[in-house]
Amino acid sequence: MIVLFSFCDIPWWLTWLLPFLLGLGLGYLLWSRFKDMVASLEAKINELNMKIGGLEADLETCRKNRIEAEGNVSMLRGRLRELELEAAKASSTTNVGIAATTGHETKQSSESVSFAAAGSDDKWFAAIGQDKLQIIEGIGPKMEEVLHENGVKHFSALAGMNGESLRSILSKYGDKYRIIDPNTWPQQASLADQRKWNDLIALQKTLDTGRSDTATNGETDSKLEKWLIKAGVLRRWAQDDLKAVEGIGPKIEELMHAAGIKTWRALSETSVSRIQEILTAAGPRFALADPGTWPEQSGMAADGKWDELQKYQDFLNAGKVKK
């Protein structure tokens, strides 16, 4: 018996089911393949992100090392200039006047020491020079490079410009510098060029990233002051830290505290003879300490006269006037 097969006898739904199943199988194969490709690409992306993170960390380390190296170079240049100034002073005939000692109590008169005209300013200038534009609030390493590329390499050159001319320079470098406000840079540079360091520090404490029109809650940090502290040129002391007085170390500070002298003001109002009594009672290990200048130094610290104190201490050796 011969059975004849006719496509007409195939159920209609089967003619739709077979292509659907074939398409589904092909789609699954393609999806599996692309799923593996996506997983592989995601793994590569994660690996590249890790490498980028490592490179960014290395770059940040390099930047920090560069900044530290630049600071060290500046300090060495400053030290070189300072040695040159000391050599020049050594060859001069300037004499330092020393006050006479009266009775058992030594007091420094207002004319006890004739300070050099520049005093600590010479040290600050020796460290900063005429071209350290980065001490200007609002100028960083990149901005300093931009200014150098446009011929602005010294404080005097920057002081002779204005906000409009500086913005025209910044506009050459696209929109990334649009938010920078250079209006205070010439004023800051002028103070630096005239070596009015304290005035510059005072001005910077009223600024916020170099802007004068930004409201600040009290004083802000001074970029110059922070740079001088980092360079070791300027020292900062906690309130009523008696070690700010040349000649007083941790042990003597403990003696003063034990005797009830715990502030700069209290020390400035204590007689030299009373301080000597405290030292003598503490034993022979403090016999070499000379407190003759301590009240005067602490008085300057209490009054916030840090520039005068630093100039004064330049002529001291362990708290004693150099002879």
pLDDT digits (tens, 9 = 90+) for 24-40: 888 888 888 888 888 88
In the chain, what are the domain boundaries?
A: 16-88, 120-230, 242-321
C-alpha span between 123 and 177 (Å, rounded): 34
Paired tokens of 17: 């089911």
Query: What's the pLDDT score for residue 209?
Result: 61
C-alpha span between 30 and 154 (Å, rounded): 67
Q: Is the pLDDT of residue 159 over 90?
A: yes
Average pLDDT over residues 54-77: 71
pLDDT digits (tens, 9 = 90+) for 207-231: 876 566 544 455 677 888 888 877 7
Q: Is the pLDDT of residue 84 over 80?
A: no
Query: What's the pLDDT score for residue 31?
Result: 83
Query: In this structure, are residues 135 and 128 in contact, taking their beta carbons and an 8 Å threshold?
Result: yes
Q: Is the pLDDT of residue 172 over 80?
A: yes
Q: What are phi and psi of 276, to 5 degrees?
A: -65, -35
C-alpha span between 303 and 132 (Å, rounded): 31
For residue 160, name the pLDDT band (cuts at 50, 70, 90): very high
Query: Nearest-CA neighbor of 158 among 190, 196, 201, 111?
Result: 190
pLDDT digits (tens, 9 = 90+) for 112-139: 333 333 345 567 888 888 889 999 998 9
Neighbours of 25 (CB within 10 A): 10
Query: Nearest-CA neighbor of 304 among 216, 202, 194?
Result: 202
Say which residues have a Cβ less than 8 Å from residue 45's Cβ, sequence separation at least 6: none
Q: Is the pLDDT of residue 98 over 70?
A: no
Paired tokens of 99: 């006050």
Q: Would you say the C-alpha torsion 96, 91, 116, 86 has a positive or negative sign?
A: negative
Helix or strand holding residue 187 (H, E): helix 185-193
DSSP string of 111-167?
TS----SSTHHHHHHHHHTT--GGGSTT--HHHHHHHHHTT--SHHHHHT--HHHHH
Query: What's the pLDDT score for residue 278?
Result: 94
Paired tokens of 162: 């204005």
Q: Is the pLDDT of residue 81 over 90?
A: no
Amino acid present at 278: I
pTM assigned to the model: 0.46
C-alpha span between 186 and 182 (Å, rounded): 8
Among 51-65, 149-163, 289-303, the least confident range: 51-65
Average pLDDT over residues 266-287: 92
C-alpha span between 322 and 314 (Å, rounded): 9
Paired tokens of 216: 């600040």
Q: Tell me what percent of the residues of the chain surpass a pLDDT of 90.
A: 25
Paired tokens of 319: 């708290």
Which tops the pLDDT comparison, 60 or 5? 60
